[in-house]
DNA sequence: CAGTGGTCTAGACCACCAC
DNA sequence: TGGTGGTCTAGACCACTGC
C-alpha cells in the first residue's frame, strides 16, 4: 500500500486513512480493526506509530479498545439533550435523566450510587448561597443507555429544604425532584446552565468507561425559585462525543 | 527525585506532577518549563515519556509549545459567553463577537476573511430551509483577544434577503446584523443553539493556533423571525479550554 | 551553531483476553 | 498459550529558534 509521506506526520495520515475506511464501510460498526502489528506491516511503519494513530481515533470516540481482544468501530449516535424540553418532559413524569435516551430509542437505566447528607463542595455551596461546607442533600447517580454509561449526575439541595422529604428516597415519583420542590412551595422558576469542556478525572474516566483522552462536558445546572433563591444544583459530567446540547430562547429576555 | 511507579503509567504520573508544579507556582504563567531532556534526566525516564506527558498538558490547554524555543505555562482565563446577554449587548451597538472579550477586560479584534456570495453548505442550507447549494451571503471572521485567536465565526444569510443590503459591507454599524435584519422587517425573534464538541480540522487548528489535540466547541446558532422563518445561521468554532458557555431560561417555556 | 520540541523505529516487557 | 493492546527505552533524524 502506498501513501503515507512526511509532510503531515505519518500517524496523522494513518488516522485519516482509518477514519476514511470507517466512513466508507471498509470497517463496519462493531467490527474489529486489523491488529496493530498487522496494520504496521500493511503500512510499512512501526507498531508504535499505528498505536499513536489509533489514539487519535479513540479521542474522537470513533473506536473502542478492549485490551487483549482488539480495537472495534463504535456506532456513534449522538444523544440530543434539549435543555428546555427535558424539564417539560420531566413534568410529565419520567425521570429527567432518562428523557433523552428514551426519545433516541435507547434503553435507559439509572443507578443511584449515593443519596444522603454531605458537606457541600465549594462551587455548590456558592451556587446555593450557603457557607462553605454547609450541609446539603446529595443524590449521585450514573445514567446508562443500552448499558453504556452516558453521564454522571449529582444533584444537590440545601439540607434545610430537603431534610425529611421524599428527596431522600430513591424513587421520587412522577414529576421528579422539581415536582417535589413545587409541593414544598419552592418550585423552580428560572434556570441557569454553565457549560465547560475538560479532561476527566481518574474516577470519572473509570465510571464512564472512557477511551483514552476523550474530553468531557461539564454542566453546572442551577435552579432558582420565584423569589430568585437557589433551590437545586446539578453537576453533569458527560463524554463529549456522545452528546449534542440544544438551547432555545426568545429575543425578549425577561429583563 | 522519587515517585513515578508503575500502577499509573509514568507519563500520567509525570503529567500530574507537572500539573501540580504549575498549580503551586513552581512554574509560573508565561515562564518556560524545563526542557524535555532536562526533565527526563531529573525524573529518570526517557524523553519520549516526558514528551507524552506534556502532550496531555497541551490537550488541557495548560501549556503552550513554541517549537525550537520551549514549553511555556499558559495563563488560562476562561471567557464567559452568555448566550442571552451577548445579543442584548449587541443591541447596544458593539460588535457581537467582541462583547465577551471586552467584558473580560481583554483587547478584542475581529478580522474578516471573507464576505460574499457562496453556495450554502448542506447543514446551513437545511437550517435556512433552502435547497442544497442555494446562494447565501457568508461573513467569515476570526476573533482574537489580546491577539490570541479565540474563535472562528461564519454567518450565513439567505442571498435573497441579504443581497444589496449593508450585510455585504464589512462595517455593519451599531446593533450589528440583527439590527439590519430588523430594519428589513425580518428581525430575529427566536434563537436556537446546538452545541457539540469534537476535533478541529487541519485548517481550524491552524487558524486557531491550537495546541496538539485540544478539542473544539462547535455552536450552530440559528435565528428565526417572528413568522418562524430562519433568517440567519452562525457557525462558531472555539478552542474548548478558552470558554464557558452560559444559558439561562425561565420555567414557563413559550410553549 | 547549539538547544528546543516532533517524530519514528526496533526491541522489549507487561496485562489482559480467548481458546 | 498465543494474540491483543499499553507502555517504555535508546537512539536517531528533522525543523525550528535564538544567538
Each residue's pLDDT tens digit, A76-96 = 789 999 998 887 765 554 556
pLDDT of residue A4: 38
For B184-215, what is each residue's pLDDT tens digit?
Answer: 999 999 999 999 999 999 889 989 999 888 99
Decide: pTM greater than 0.85.
yes
The gap between A21 CA and C19 C1' (Å) is 30
pLDDT of residue A211: 86
The gap between B68 CA and D17 C1' (Å) is 4
Nucleic strand C near CB of residue A164 (< 7 Å):
no
B221 vs B92, more confident: B221
pLDDT of residue A6: 44
Nucleic strand C near CB of residue B68 (< 7 Å):
yes
Chain C: bases < 7 Å from a protein Cβ: 2-12, 15-18
The pLDDT of B42-65, averaged and rounded, is: 96
For B117-175, what is each residue's pLDDT tens digit?
Answer: 999 999 999 999 999 999 999 999 999 998 889 999 999 999 999 998 889 988 877 77
pLDDT of residue A97: 67
- Residue B33 Cα distances to A159, B62, B249, angstroms: 45, 11, 44
Closest listed residue to residue A59, CA positions, set A238, A217, A210: A210
Rounded Cα distance, A99 and A82, in Å: 10
Q: How far is A193 from chain B (nearest CA, A)?
A: 5
pLDDT of residue B3: 37
Task: Find the nucleotide nearest B36 (Cα to C1′).
Answer: C5
With bands split at pLDDT 50, 70 and 90, how would you rate the model's confidence at B87?
Answer: confident
pLDDT of residue B73: 97
Q: Which residue has the cell 502506498?
A: A2
Beta strands of chain A (E only): which ranges?
A: 63-66, 70-73, 79-82, 108-119, 135-145, 148-158, 188-198, 216-225, 230-239, 243-250
pLDDT at A223 over 70: yes
pLDDT at A105 over 90: no
Closest listed residue to residue A81, CA positions, set A254, A243, A255, A248: A243
Among A143-152, A246-255, B20-29, the range of highest mean pLDDT: B20-29
Query: Interface of chain B against chain A, CB under 8 Å?
Result: 56, 59-60, 78, 83-84, 87-88, 187-199, 213, 215, 217, 240-241, 243-251, 253-254
- Residue B155 Cα distances to A43, A163, B113, B233, angstroms: 41, 50, 12, 6
- Residue B93 Cα distances to A106, B88, B100, angstroms: 46, 9, 14
With bands split at pLDDT 50, 70 and 90, how would you rate the model's confidence at B1?
Answer: very low
- Residue A222 Cα distances to A7, A125, A157, B166, B237, angstroms: 48, 11, 10, 41, 26
Nucleic strand C near CB of residue B205 (< 7 Å):
no
pLDDT of residue B97: 67
The set of cell numbers assigned to B239 is 478552542
The set of cell numbers assigned to A50 is 499505528
pLDDT of residue A91: 53
A220: nearest CA partner in chain B: B246
pLDDT of residue A254: 43
The gap between A112 CA and C18 C1' (Å) is 34
Phi, psi angles (nearest 5°) of residue A252? -90, 100
pLDDT of residue B90: 57
Q: Taking the CB of residue B26, how many other CB atoms lie within 10 A of it? A: 13
Name the least confident of A13-27, A50-64, B29-43, B91-105: B91-105
pLDDT of residue B4: 37
A114 vs A104, more confident: A114
- The sign one gets for the Cα dihedral B126, B132, B134, B139 is positive
CB contact at 8 A, B73 and B54? no
Rounded Cα distance, A84 and A100, in Å: 12
Rounded Cα distance, B239 and B245, in Å: 12
A80 vs B86, more confident: A80
With bands split at pLDDT 50, 70 and 90, how would you rate the model's confidence at A176?
Answer: confident
Amino acid at each position: 500500500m502506498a501513501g503515507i509521506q512526511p509532510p503531515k506526520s505519518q500517524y496523522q495520515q494513518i488516522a485519516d486513512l482509518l477514519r476514511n475506511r470507517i466512513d466508507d464501510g471498509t470497517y463496519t460498526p462493531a467490527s474489529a480493526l486489523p491488529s496493530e502489528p498487522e496494520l504496521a506491516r500493511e503500512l510499512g511503519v512501526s507498531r508504535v506509530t499505528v498505536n499513536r494513530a489509533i489514539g487519535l481515533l479513540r479521542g474522537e470516540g470513533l473506536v473502542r479498545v478492549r485490551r487483549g481482544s482488539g480495537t472495534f468501530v463504535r456506532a456513534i449516535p449522538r444523544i440530543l439533550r434539549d435543555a428546555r424540553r427535558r424539564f417539560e418532559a420531566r413534568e410529565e413524569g419520567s425521570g429527567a435523566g432518562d428523557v433523552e435516551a428514551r426519545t433516541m430509542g435507547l434503553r435507559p437505566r439509572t443507578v443511584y450510587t449515593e443519596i444522603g447528607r454531605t458537606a457541600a463542595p465549594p462551587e455548590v455551596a456558592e451556587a446555593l448561597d450557603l457557607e462553605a461546607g454547609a450541609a446539603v442533600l446529595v443524590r449521585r447517580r450514573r445514567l446508562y443507555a443500552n448499558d453504556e454509561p452516558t453521564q454522571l449526575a449529582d444533584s444537590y439541595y440545601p439540607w434545610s429544604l430537603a431534610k425529611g422529604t421524599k428527596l431522600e428516597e430513591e424513587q421520587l415519583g412522577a414529576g421528579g425532584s422539581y415536582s417535589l420542590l413545587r409541593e414544598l412551595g419552592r418550585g423552580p422558576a428560572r434556570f441557569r446552565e454553565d457549560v465547560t469542556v475538560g479532561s476527566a478525572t481518574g474516577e470519572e474516566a473509570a465510571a464512564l468507561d472512557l477511551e483514552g483522552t476523550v474530553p468531557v462536558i461539564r454542566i453546572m445546572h442551577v435552579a432558582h425559585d420565584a423569589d430568585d433563591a437557589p433551590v437545586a444544583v446539578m453537576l453533569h459530567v458527560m463524554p463529549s462525543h456522545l452528546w449534542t446540547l440544544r438551547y432555545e430562547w426568545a429575543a425578549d429576555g425577561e429583563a
